[in-house]
Amino acid sequence: MPIPTNWQLEEQAGIVRLNDPDQKITIALLSVEEADLAKAIELGWQQADPSFTLTPDDSQEMPAPNGVEKALVAAYDTKNTAQTTIALAQLHEGMAYLMLVQGENTTIAKRQSQVGIIQSGFTILALNQTTLSADQRVDVGPELISELESFIQAEQAEYKIPGVSVAIVQDGQIVYSKGFGVRDVVSQAPMDADTQMMIGSTGKSLTTLLMATLVDQGKLDWDTPVVELLPNFKVKDPEITKQITVRHLVCACTGVPRRDYEMIFNAEDLDAQGIIASVADFEFFTDFGEAFQYSNQMVAIGGFAAAAASGGELTQLDQTFAQALTERVLKPMGMNSTTLDQAAVEASPNHALPHGLDLVNATYQTLPISMEFAIKGVAPAGATEWSTANDMGNYLITLLNHGITPSGQRLVSDENLAVLWEPQIAIDAKSSYGLGWMISDYHGLEFIAHGGTTFGFSSEFAFIPEANIGIVVLTNGQYANHIATSISDRYFELAFDQPSKAAETSAYTAQSIEQSLGEIAKNIVPELDLASVEPLLGSYTNAALGDVSLLLSGEELWLDIGAIQTQFKPVLNEQGQPDGYLSVTPPFTGIPFKTGVDANNQPTLTMDLGSETYLFTRKP
């Protein structure tokens, strides 16, 4: 079992205990000879903490790792909303292997990847591990395609995803590409492999590829301090500002937390310079290299640093980045349908519409394309890139050809392509983050991937270099990453004749999402009490998120943040008492707001996201 950086370990009486550096998370690891996992968990708590008397509030079987007979997760209601207590159990040959977790929610959110390192690294040594070699690969053929298409169609129907587009690359060729379903639920226009969809964070790797080409040309160095390229760049700590290099911007290893809502709420005011300025007050959750922390703002700044290195004016970094990416990366790879331009997408006869999930009706509804371009200030992080399965197939060919494009042109050196795939920080015990890529292994073979999600699209892009195969999956549905990933997983299972786990894993993820949304939805009050809402209407402000307005449209309550609007409905707590409001329409489905009053008896709104809490005060 790996020990995360700066965590403390103590072993006593067969129990291993780990504590985070702040002493706010305790994890106990032990084994109990008991085949009934629920009973084993109870026995485990008795050994680890004799004073523990809670019974599980919820227990759920989860997909078991290969060789494990059964796995169970149990959650407990501690009556303290700031605390989390869970138990994980795995059964192997009559022995239950347990992980018991207690901790503060905010600390768990900040150190989620380190908790993941412990969870994924808690290995049962008695298990037989499957190891594969590249020569065991099964080539794409009618039988494999038939199995894969049946799986795609079943997953799409089960989870009501409007459309899916897939491309598979093998030995330098796109050997399969096809669309399933529709481009949008209104027109019912069919999806195909040339339908444009957003790729989301999968586009981060295109940004780091652009950076690699500039390093090849001597215009950039991975260890160049960012302030040399972007003089206005700074974070809260002046010393850390000086230390941050180009590499740090795209490695997810600096300790900068994920603060997406700050870029979304301020989208109308954030261009490249605005994004650079926005991190000036960022504090770091963890030290450099201590924990995986995913920041869209930092990657975007990495893209703007590349734009500056390419010769762009500091006042035109948005345009320079788009131009540099198109001319230096996309066109050479033959990705002619890939664009960052809203007008080009809207003019295309073959583009999909984004679909968001409505919490009240549990159905997908179309969203305007303009909503997907609302956060264009972080374009280098994958916020505005539209592509197709076939275009992304050309990208896959280039990567698997070690930097040689489908037309035979050398785009990037093998050396700097390899730098992108070097692990920089552990995500968990079995995977790491490189420079815009997630690096793991597939039964002993190096496995490189990245997914993406936007307001109304989800994607997955994965390949195994040694086996010379890869797949891209694009979908036009919010919260559909488990579908895209399951399709990718199923392909690799078929490609190496492995037992099918993809459907089970996808079903578990979908069930967890549905259960979470269902728990929220059942507490929604259908009718709005206009009398109680009237005093709340008006404009509010928050130092980090800017100005918002709470307004009535007919008998519906809406929050307007400028580029995006979302409907709110009142919710009840477990005791049936009013407990604030919840966003029920995409793209912000499921965000809670609590109401209150300040010292001047003016109404306030509080948005609590776990790791961050934002208080909005009434504007004069």
pLDDT at 139: 97
Amino acid at 47: Q
Q: How many CB atoms lie within 10 A of CB 232?
A: 10
CA nearest neighbour of 155 among 605, 458, 562, 542: 458
Q: Checking phi first, is residue 117 left (phi over 0); if not, alpha (psi -120 to 50) or beta?
A: alpha
Q: Which helix (H) or strand (E) holds 379?
A: none
Q: What is the CA radius of gyration of the chain?
A: 25
pLDDT at 432: 94
pLDDT at 112: 84
- Site of tokens 């201590």: 290
Which of 59-68, 291-300, 401-410, 510-519 is the least confident region? 510-519
Q: Which helix (H) or strand (E) holds 19?
A: strand 15-19
- Would you give the DSSP letter of residue 326? I
The mean of the pLDDT values for the chain is 91
E-strand ranges in 391-430 read 425-426
For residues 567 and 550, give the distance between their C-alpha atoms in angstroms, rounded to a whole number: 10
- pLDDT at 128 > cutoff 80: no
Distances (CA, A) of 6 to 109, 290, 291, 394: 17, 8, 10, 43
pLDDT digits (tens, 9 = 90+) for 173-200: 999 999 999 999 999 999 999 999 999 9
Mean pLDDT of 439-453: 96
Q: Which helix (H) or strand (E) holds 483?
A: helix 481-495
For residues 197 and 191, give the distance between their C-alpha atoms in angstroms, rounded to a whole number: 10
The CATH code of domain 530-618 reads: 2.40.128
Q: Checking phi first, is residue 538 left (phi over 0); if not, alpha (psi -120 to 50) or beta?
A: left
Distances (CA, A) of 223 to 211, 226, 245, 248, 296: 12, 9, 5, 8, 20
Query: Residue 609 — φ and ψ, nearest 5°?
Result: -110, 15
Burial class (CB in 10 A: 0-12, 13-18, 19+), 226: buried
* Domain layout of the chain by residue ranges: 8-121, 134-517, 530-618
For residues 436 and 440, give the distance between their C-alpha atoms in angstroms, rounded to a whole number: 13
Mean pLDDT of 276-301: 86
Residue 215 makes CB contacts below 8 A (sequence gap 6+) with: 221, 222, 416, 419
For residues 231 and 216, give the distance between their C-alpha atoms in angstroms, rounded to a whole number: 23
For residues 483 and 155, give the distance between their C-alpha atoms in angstroms, rounded to a whole number: 7
For residues 216 and 417, give the distance between their C-alpha atoms in angstroms, rounded to a whole number: 10
Mean pLDDT of 514-533: 79
Structure tokens at 601: 């008896």
Distances (CA, A) of 21 to 7, 29, 404: 5, 18, 45
Q: pLDDT confidence of 408, banded at 50, 70, 90?
A: very high
Q: Tally helices (H) and strands (E) across the chain.
A: 19, 27
- Cβ(111)–Cβ(50) below 8 Å: no
CA nearest neighbour of 416 among 219, 233, 231: 219
Q: pLDDT confidence of 110, banded at 50, 70, 90?
A: confident
Q: Which helix (H) or strand (E) holds 247?
A: helix 246-249
Q: Say which residue, 473 or 532, is predicted with more confidence.
A: 473
- Would you give the DSSP letter of residue 569? E
pLDDT at 423: 95
Q: What does the buried/exposed string (b/e) look like for 374-394 if buried means 16 or more CB atoms within 10 Å of the residue's CB?
A: bbbbbbbbbbbbbbbbbbbbb
Burial class (CB in 10 A: 0-12, 13-18, 19+), 530: exposed
CA angle 443, 444, 450 (to 5 degrees): 75
Mean pLDDT of 524-531: 86
- Superfamily holding 134-517: DD-peptidase/beta-lactamase superfamily (3.40.710.10)
- pLDDT at 609 > cutoff 80: no
Q: Tell the CATH topology of 8-121.
A: Protein Transport Mog1p; Chain A (3.40.1000)
Note if the bond before 587 is cis, omega within 30 degrees: yes
- pLDDT at 409 > cutoff 70: yes
For residues 249 and 222, give the distance between their C-alpha atoms in angstroms, rounded to a whole number: 10
For residues 160 and 196, give the distance between their C-alpha atoms in angstroms, rounded to a whole number: 20
pLDDT at 611: 66
Q: pLDDT confidence of 276, banded at 50, 70, 90?
A: very high
Residue 255 makes CB contacts below 8 A (sequence gap 6+) with: 284, 285, 286, 287, 288, 290, 291, 293
CA 93, chain centre distance (Å): 35
- Alpha helices, DSSP H, located in 271-312: 272-278, 296-309
For residues 432 and 236, give the distance between their C-alpha atoms in angstroms, rounded to a whole number: 27
Q: pLDDT confidence of 323, banded at 50, 70, 90?
A: very high
pLDDT digits (tens, 9 = 90+) for 226-260: 999 999 999 988 998 999 999 999 999 988 878 88
- pLDDT at 262 > cutoff 90: no
* Most confident segment among 66-70, 413-417, 428-432, 567-571: 413-417
